[in-house]
Amino acid sequence: MSEAQFMAGVIGWPVAHSRSPRIHGYWLKKHGIDGQYVLLAVETENLEQELSSLPARRFRGVNVTIPHKEAVIKYLDEVDRIAQKVGAVNMIVISGEGKLSGSNTDVFGFMENIKEVPVGTALVLGAGGASRAVAVALQEKGFNEIRIANRTKDRAKKIAEELGGNIKVVDWEEKENAFENVKLLVNTTSLGMTGQPPLEINLDNLPKEAWVTDAVYVPLETDLLKLAAKRGHRTVDGLGMLLHQARPAFKAWFGVDPDVDEELRKFVMEV
Ligand code: ATR
């Protein structure tokens, strides 16, 4: 193990593909902080034990990724309001006394990434983990109607039931008929990702002023974003969500609110 003064890392299974060590490693170097961010490959049956071992190993905190974002909640001393709403924790801060506090910074990451988009009606494709964080972010930002279309309708219904009020469920086959008044179209499905099937969608009836964003960032410019840009829509790629979700974590663990700049974007996409 390292001699660094401050430790942080990401707990997942599998975890080798995570880009978080590159993100935090870039900022640690940039700010001259004596810290190290490591991969922690942990199976579900070892999750509780791993978490309880972290304070003694000089960990300031950890990110949590697939498949532990929900399961980790029961082992934490506190969970903030946003993470409770999403029902998932992706970031833990460890206090000097060894207390574990959970947050969900995917919500912040998405909000920061769509900072320029005016509020109104949004259409969200997908109803998995990413979709829940996106839906909470849209609610927090003040979107008045959030439509969710998902292949498995029950997953969208569950989000609507749990998050309430302004969430409407749309049939997956009817998504193009749910474009009325849409100011923001968000893809949170894995469709369009390298190695996955394409997202087949016709944007003919999407209002001209609508923005389009994709949670997929490999490739950076997905076919959805390409098509949207060609039709004159303003687009936001998914890398920003990944990079901005890391900022509150870095700040909490290492005391610096870091910047998301072009050099970081390039560095993270190099792998
Ligand atoms: P994440 O946590 O990244 O959101 P996930 O929970 O596995 O990942 O969700 C993947 C999303 O992509 C889901 O909305 C999924 O739809 P289902 O809920 O019906 O599975 C969607 N998805 C994946 N493959 C799809 C496909 N071939 N057609 C339509 N939707 C698909």
Residue identifier of the C-alpha nearest atom 25 of ligand 1: 191
| Under 8 Å between Cβ of 63 and 91 | yes
Tokens of 19: 């880009």
Instruction: Report the distance separating Cα 236 and Cα 222, nearest Å.
Output: 11
pLDDT score, position 2: 52
Residues with CB under 6 A from ligand 1: 126-131, 150-152, 155, 188-191, 197
Tell me the pairing of strands 35-41 and 121-125.
unpaired
Sign, CA dihedral 233-238-243-248, equals positive
Closest residue CA from atom 9 of ligand 1: 128
- Is beta strand 59-64 parallel, antiparallel or unpaired with respect to 6-12? parallel
Per-residue pLDDT at 4: 86
pLDDT tens, residue by residue, 111-137: 999 999 999 999 999 999 999 999 999
Report, in angstroms and rounded to the nearest whole number, the Rg of the chain calculated over CA atoms.
19
Question: What tens-digit pLDDT sequence spans the chain (271 residues)?
Answer: 557 899 999 999 999 999 999 999 999 999 999 999 999 999 999 999 999 999 999 999 999 999 999 999 999 999 999 999 999 999 999 999 999 999 999 999 999 999 999 999 999 999 999 999 999 999 999 999 999 999 999 999 999 999 988 999 999 999 999 999 999 999 999 999 999 999 999 999 999 999 999 999 999 999 999 999 999 999 999 999 999 999 999 999 999 999 999 999 999 999 8
CA of 154 to the centre of ligand 1 (A): 12
CA of 202 to the centre of ligand 1 (A): 19
Strands (E), the chain: 6-12, 35-41, 59-64, 78-79, 91-94, 100-103, 121-125, 145-150, 167-171, 182-187, 211-214, 234-236
CA-nearest of 130, 74, 129 to 102 is 74
Rounded CA gap, 270 and 202, in Å? 31
Nearest Cα residue to atom 12 of ligand 1: 189
* Ligand 1 pocket mutation pick from 151, 155, 173, 245 by most atoms within 8 angstroms of CB: 151
**Distance from the CA of 151 to the center of ligand 1, in angstroms?**
8
Residue-wise pLDDT tens digits, 44-88 = 999 999 999 999 999 999 999 999 999 999 999 999 999 999 999
Q: In the annotation, is 69 catalytic? A: yes
- In sequence order, what are the beta bridge partners of 61? 8, 93
Structure-token pair, residue 10:
């990401």
CA distance 183 to 156: 20
Q: Which residue, judged by its Cα, is nearest atom 26 of ligand 1? A: 191
Map residue 66 onto helix, strand or coil. Answer: coil
Taking the C-alpha atoms of residue 74 and residue 100, their distance in angstroms, rounded to an integer, is 11
Residue nearest to atom 8 of ligand 1 (CA): 128
Q: Which of 17, 136, 190 to mutate to test the pocket of ligand 1 (most atoms within 8 A of CB)?
A: 190
Given the residues 69, 85, 175, 183, select the one marked as catalytic. Answer: 69
Q: Measure 156 CA to ligand 1 centroid, in angstroms.
A: 11
With a CB cutoff of 8 Å and minimum separation 6, the contacts of 46 are none
